[in-house]
Amino acid sequence: MDMPENTHGHPEPSYLEYQGKHKGLKAWIFSTDHKRIGLLYLYTILTFFGIGLLIGLLMKLELIAPGQTIMGPDTYNRFFTLHGVIMIFVVVIPGLPAVFGNFVMPIQIGAPDVAFPRLNLLSWWIYILGILLVLSSLLTGGGAPDTGWTFYAPYSFETGTNMLPAVLGAFTLGFSSILTGLNFIVTIHRMRAPGMSWFKMPLFPWALYGTGWIQLLATPVVGITLLMIVAERTLGIGFFDPDLGGDPILYQHLFWIYSHPAVYIMILPAMGAISEILPAFARKTIFGYRAIVISTLMIAFVGYFVWGHHMFTSGMSGTALYTFSLLTFIVAIPSAIKVFNWISTLHKASINVQTPFYWAISFIFVFMVGGLTGLILGSLATDVHVHDTAFVVGHFHYIVFGGTGFAFLGAMHYWFPKIYGRMYNARRANLGWLIFFIGFNALYSPMFYLGVAGMARRYYDYLPEFHSGNIISSIGAYVMATGLVIIVVNLILGARRGEKAEANPWGGKTLEWSVPSPPPLENFEKIPVVTREPYDYSA
C-alpha cells in the first residue's frame, strides 16, 4: 500500500502513516480505524467495479451486431447475471455508505470513530466472505448462475447452474450491509459533537441515517427470501413451486420488498453527497435544508411501499396495481423537492467551477432523465408496453449508474484531497469527466428508443432494425470506459505524486474540512463544539 509522507507539519501522524500493532498489509486489513476501513472498501469496490464493467463491455460488444458476435445465449445469460450480482450487491449497495460514509461521516459529525469500530471491521470481512461465495459459484458445480440478479422463482430452483453459492453470497453481503447500517445509526444517535443538534447535522450523515434504516428493515426480508430459495433447492420445501402449491409471484413480492428499497439504499447517500458538494462550490448555504432532510426521511419511508411497480405485468390483482402505481408517483415528489432545492442553491451563486461541481451538475441531469423515465414505468398503461425492454435497462442505468455512479465519482473528486492529502490534476479530471459524460449518454439514451420500439432486454440477439441504435450504444460504452480509465489513472497519479493539498482546498464549511489532510488517527485533537448551521457561508 502506497502511503504519502507526512508533510502537513502537524505533530500527530496521519491515519495513513500511523503505526499500530501490525505492519504492512495487516495494518490495514486488521485496522478498526473508520478511515482505513473506508479505503479497504474503496479498493475492493473499485476492483469489482472493474470486473463488472469488463463483463458489461463484453456484453455491449456482443450486442454491436445482430446474431452471435462473440458469445452464445448461454454465456450471455451468465454474463448479465454476474454483471447484475456484482454491480448491485458488491459495488453499488455498499458504494457510497461503506466508502465515504465510513471515511467522512464520523468526521462530519465530530466523532473520533464510529460507535462500534470492531463491528465495522467485521462488516468488511463479512463483505469479503460474501464476495468469495459469489465468486466460488464460477469455479464449482454447474458454473455461474444464469437467472439474472433477481433469482426469480421457479427458474432459480430449476436451473442446473450453481445457484447456492451465489444466493448464499448475496445473503452474506446483505448481512454486511445490515451491520454497516446498524453501526451508522448508532453512531449518528450517540456520537454527534456537543452542540450538533439533529438539524445542525450536515446532509450526508442525514442521508446515511435514512439509508441505515432501510438497510436494517429491508435487507432481512431478502435474506429470508434467499434462504427460502436455498431450502427449496436443498430440502424440497415448496415455498414458491407451483407444483407444490407455492406462488412464484409471492417470491417476486418478497424479493422486491427488499430490492426496491435497495434502490434507495443506492440513491439516498448519492443525494447526500450532492447536497454536500453543491453548497461548497456555490459558496452559499444550501437552499431548503429542512426540506431536504424531510424529503430524505420521506423517501426512506415511502420507498418501502412501492415495490409492486416491478410486477405490473406479473398477474397481480388490479387493486394492487392501482395502489402501487399511485404510491410510485408519490415517492417521486420528495426526489423532485431535492432537485428543486439543489437548483435553487445555485441561483445567484458565484459558482466556483471545479471537477466535483461538474459531477454534481451532471448528476442532476442524469438523475432527472432517470427519474422522469421512471414515471413512464410507474404508469400502468405505458409500463405494459415497455416492460422488460431495453427502456427499463436505460432507466435503471440512468438512476443507478448515472445517479449513484456520478455521485460516487463526484464524491471521490470532492473528498480526494482529504483522503490522500494530495491533489489530482484538475484538467485531466475534467477531460475524463467530459468523455465519460458523452460516452454515458451515448450508451444509455439509445436504449429508451430501442425499448419503445420493442427491443427486449436480456437477449444476446435482436432484430436487424435495432442495429443502428445498438451500434451507438456499444460505441458509447467504449467511449465511457475510456473516460473512466483517464479518471482512474489521474486519481492514482494524484494519490501518489499529486501536489500537497491544504486542509480545506474548496472552502467547505463542514467539520471534515477543519481537520488536516489527511486527518490524524483520532480525527480531532479536541472534539469540537458546534454552534453554527452546517452550511453557514455568511462568515
Partner 1 sequence: MHEHRDDTASKIGMWLFIFTEILLFGGLFIVYAVYRYRNPVAFHLAGEELNVIIGAINTVVLLVSSATIAMAITAMQQGKRRLSVRLLWVTILLAAVFMVNKYFEWGAKFEHGLYPGSDFLYSLSQGDVLFFGLYFAMTGLHALHIIVGAVFILFVIAYIRKGKVHETRWQLLENAGLYWHLVDLIWIFLFPLFYLIH
Partner 2 sequence: MSEHHNEHTHITPFKTHLLILGALIVLTIVTVAITWTNLGVWNTTAAMVIAGLKGTLVLFYFMHLKFDQKIYRVMVLLVLAVFAAVLILTFFDYLNR
Radius of gyration of the chain (CA): 23
C-beta of 123: minimal distance to partner 1 in Å?
13
Q: Closer to partner 1 at the Cβ: 316 or 368?
A: 316
Stretch that binds partner 2, among 167-175, 277-285, 316-324, 366-374 (CB under 8 A): 316-324
Residues in 98-117 that interact with partner 1 by CB under 8 A: 112-113, 115-117
Task: Establish if 29 lies at the interface with partner 2 (CB under 8 A).
Answer: no
316 forms part of the interface with partner 2 (CB under 8 A): yes
Based on the shown chain and the rule CB under 8 A, indicate whether residue 464 belongs to the binding site for partner 1. no
If contact means CB under 5 to 8 A according to the sort of partner, which of partner 1, partner 2, none does residue 224 touch? partner 1
What is the secondary structure of 374-411 as a DSSP string?
HHHHHSHHHHHHHTTBHHHHHHHHIIIIIIIIHHHHHH
User: How deeply is 18 buried, as exposed, middle or buried, from its count of CB atoms within 10 A (0-12, 13-18, 19+)?
Assistant: middle
- In whole angstroms, give the CA distance from residue 535 to residue 516: 19
- Write down the least CB distance from residue 179 to partner 1, Å: 9
- 83 vs 192, which CB is nearer to partner 1? 192
Indicate which of partner 2, partner 1, none lies near residue 464 (CB less than 5 to 8 Å, by partner kind): none
Crossing angle of the two packed helices 390-397 and 426-453, in degrees rounded to 10: 150
Residue 82 and residue 55 in contact, taking contact as beta carbons nearer than 8 Å: yes
Residue from 217, 294, 434, 453 touching partner 2 (CB under 8 A): that is: 217
Contact range with partner 1 by CB under 8 A, out of 197-205, 224-232, 440-448, 496-504:
224-232
Grid cell 477543519 in the structure block, residue: 514
Q: Which long-range contacts (CB under 8 A, 24 or more apart) does 31-35 make?
A: 31/121, 32/113, 32/117, 32/118, 32/120, 32/121, 33/113, 33/117, 33/521, 34/102, 34/103, 34/106, 34/113, 34/114, 34/117, 34/120, 35/102, 35/103, 35/419, 35/518, 35/519
Residues 250-269 that bind partner 1 (CB under 8 A): 250, 253-254, 257
Rounded least distance, CB 191 to partner 1, Å: 8
Cα–Cα distance, 6 to 17 (Å, whole number): 7
x/- mask, partner 1, residues 14-33, rule CB under 8 A, reads ------------------x-
The reply on whether position 197 binds partner 2 by CB under 8 A is: no
Residues 99-158 that bind partner 2 (CB under 8 A): 112
* Stretch touching partner 2 by CB under 8 A, among 84-92, 143-151, 311-319, 394-402: 311-319
Look at residue 235 and give the partner it binds from partner 1, partner 2, none, a contact being a CB closer than 5 to 8 Å depending on partner kind: partner 1
Cell triple for 36: 482505513
Neighbours of 112 (CB within 10 A): 15
Contacts by residues 42-50 (CB-CB < 8 Å, ≥ 24 positions apart) = 42/99, 44/90, 44/124, 44/127, 44/128, 44/131, 45/90, 45/91, 45/94, 45/95, 45/98, 45/99, 46/488, 48/86, 48/90, 48/91, 48/131, 49/87, 49/91
308 binds partner 1 (CB under 8 A): no
**C-beta of 139 vs 244, nearer to partner 1:** 244
CA distance 257 to 251: 10
Residue 317's binding partner among partner 2, partner 1, none (Cβ under 5 to 8 angstroms by kind) is partner 2
The mark string for 219-238 relative to partner 2 (x by CB under 8 A, - otherwise) is --x-----------------
Q: Summarize as ranges the residues that interact with partner 1 (CB under 8 A).
A: 32, 112-113, 115-117, 119, 178, 182-183, 185-186, 189-191, 216-221, 223-225, 228, 231, 235-239, 244-247, 250, 253-254, 257
Q: Summarize as ranges the residues that interact with partner 2 (CB under 8 A).
A: 112, 191, 217, 221, 249, 253, 257, 301, 304-305, 308, 316-320, 323-324, 527
